[in-house]
Structure 1
Amino acid sequence: MRAAAAGATFHVTEISTRKRYLAQLRALDENLARNIEMQNNLDHPNIIQLHQAIMDQGIAVLIYEK
């Protein structure tokens, strides 16, 4: 397994559903936290949907619908 560069996107698969997503590893700061909150409230067919955000110890993994 290769390490992901910060900000690079990579493919992930949810084991229970076998559904594929795009993931992005980012440093967690105040701006990103606001961006995550904003993306959770967006619902538009031309905007990629944020599926999940996992945040821990200053790092965020953003999981997007593919």
Structure 2
Amino acid sequence: MTNLIKNFLNDEAGASAAEYALLLAVIGIGIVVAAGALGSAITGALNEAATAVNTRPAPAPAP
């Protein structure tokens, strides 16, 4: 019985799995944050381009 308890306490397989799960969660959160920032940057750039196109001066009349 004591060997069973010692083996259970020394088993690190579950700890490794938990570490990998935590690492994947942190990487996933980083990807979500980066995608949100990139999406905002793209939206801002497209809005600036649309404003530039919509506010261009009217062409001069033909003589």
TM-score range, shorter chain: under 0.3
* More helix as a share of residues: 2
TM-score by length of 1: 0.22
* More strand as a share of residues: 1
- Whichever of the two has the greater Rg, that structure is 2
TM-score by length of 2: 0.23
More relative contact order, 1 or 2 (CA 8 Å, 6+ apart) = 1
